[in-house]
């Protein structure tokens, strides 16, 4: 199967090796006989609902976010329709913040958001930096952990009733207070976790690929055949133990 990926603003939103997440999607899809067709969606491109099965957007400094925010907000209708049609989406840090209603910089300048996720973000004085460990339950009754690295000034506030991606075991997460991290809306996952995220959390890559394949086939989400993942498990364990040891220190 050919999985069609829309990579939003790869030239602007790509820090801490976020682009590596695309390589993980491609490799894990190929190991199951599928192929990833990645199309860059930039300033001059439109979002065509139905044309992509999986969208991806990485993180970025305030400067890069300010360069793309208005253009990304103009793609709101297309993104919302695409997601309502069952497309999957992974957004990391700066990209995650711009999926909310707005991101207010430390200067007070407010960058418009897509308004796809029920949240808003306000930058604080001190950056939240370090290793992070979360507990997630994307499927009822199936608890798993996510390990990664965060570096953000933004404090993200979820609307009441909004679903977080996970509960913080170690680290700051959305705002350093709520104990929550990220946001999940159907097949959309937003998170502060860099690293890149997916090499040390292959189960999330597979979960997103499964959703994308379901969109591609129009059928139910069928779990992908498991892979050995010994190296990935080791990377996860190292990252998780670093988070437990150090997570959650202001810069």
Q: Footprint of ligand GLN on this chain (CB under 6 A)?
A: 15, 59-62, 65, 93-94, 97, 123, 151-154
Question: Cα separation of 160 and 142, whole Å?
Answer: 24
What Rg value do the Cα atoms of the chain yield, rounded?
A: 17
CB of 62: closest distance to ligand GLN in angstroms? 5
CB of 33: closest distance to ligand GLN in angstroms? 34
**Could you say which of 52, 152, 194, 215 is catalytic?**
194
- Output the CA angle 48-49-51, nearest 5 degrees: 70
By beta-carbon proximity to ligand GLN, the closer residue of 97 and 239 is 97
Question: Cα separation of 185 and 199, whole Å?
Answer: 23
By beta-carbon proximity to ligand GLN, the closer residue of 4 and 194 is 194
93 in catalytic set: yes
Q: What phi and psi, each to the nearest 5 degrees, are found at residue 131?
A: -80, 145
**Residue 151: closest CA among 65, 10, 250:** 250
By beta-carbon proximity to ligand GLN, the closer residue of 29 and 69 is 69
Shortest-Cβ-distance residue relative to ligand GLN: 59
152 in catalytic set: no
Q: 148: which 2 tokens?
A: 């990664």
By beta-carbon proximity to ligand GLN, the closer residue of 7 and 152 is 152
CB of 46: closest distance to ligand GLN in angstroms? 25
**Could you say which of 7, 34, 93, 236 is catalytic?**
93
CB of 28: closest distance to ligand GLN in angstroms? 24
CB of 231: closest distance to ligand GLN in angstroms? 26
**What's the burial of 235, exposed, middle or buried (CB within 10 Å: 0-12/13-18/19+)?**
middle
> Could you give the C-alpha distances from 241 to 133, 204, 228, in angstroms and in order?
9, 19, 21
By beta-carbon proximity to ligand GLN, the closer residue of 61 and 217 is 61
Q: 90: which 2 tokens?
A: 């992974």
Q: 76: which 2 tokens?
A: 């709101």
Q: What phi and psi, each to the nearest 5 degrees, are found at residue 220?
A: -80, 160
Residues with catalytic roles:
93, 194
């Amino acid at each position: 199967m050919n999985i069609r990926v829309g990579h939003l603003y790869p030239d602007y939103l790509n820090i801490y090796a976020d682009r590596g997440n695309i390589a993980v999607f491609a490799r894990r899809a190929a190991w199951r006989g599928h192929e990833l067709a990645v199309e860059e969606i930039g300033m001059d491109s439109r979002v065509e609902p139905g044309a992509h099965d999986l969208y991806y957007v990485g993180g970025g400094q305030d400067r890069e976010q300010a360069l793309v925010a208005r253009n990304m907000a103009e793609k709101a209708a297309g993104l919302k329709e695409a997601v309502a049609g069952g497309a999957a989406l992974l957004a990391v840090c700066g990209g995650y913040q711009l999926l909310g209603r707005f991101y207010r910089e430390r200067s007070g300048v407010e960058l418009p958001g897509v308004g796809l996720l029920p949240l808003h973000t306000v930058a604080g004085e001190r950056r939240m930096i370090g290793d992070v460990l979360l507990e997630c339950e994307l499927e009822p009754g199936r608890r798993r952990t996510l390990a990664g690295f965060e570096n953000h000034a933004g404090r993200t506030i979820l609307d009441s009733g909004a679903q977080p991606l996970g509960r913080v075991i170690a680290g700051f997460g959305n705002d350093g207070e709520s104990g929550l991290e990220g946001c999940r809306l159907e097949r959309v996952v937003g998170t502060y976790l860099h690293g890149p995220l997916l090499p040390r959390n292959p189960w999330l890559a597979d979960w997103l690929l499964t959703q994308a394949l379901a969109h591609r086939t129009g059928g139910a989400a069928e779990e992908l055949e498991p892979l050995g993942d010994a190296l990935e498990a080791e990377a996860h364990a190292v990252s998780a133990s670093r988070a437990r040891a150090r997570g959650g220190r202001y810069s």
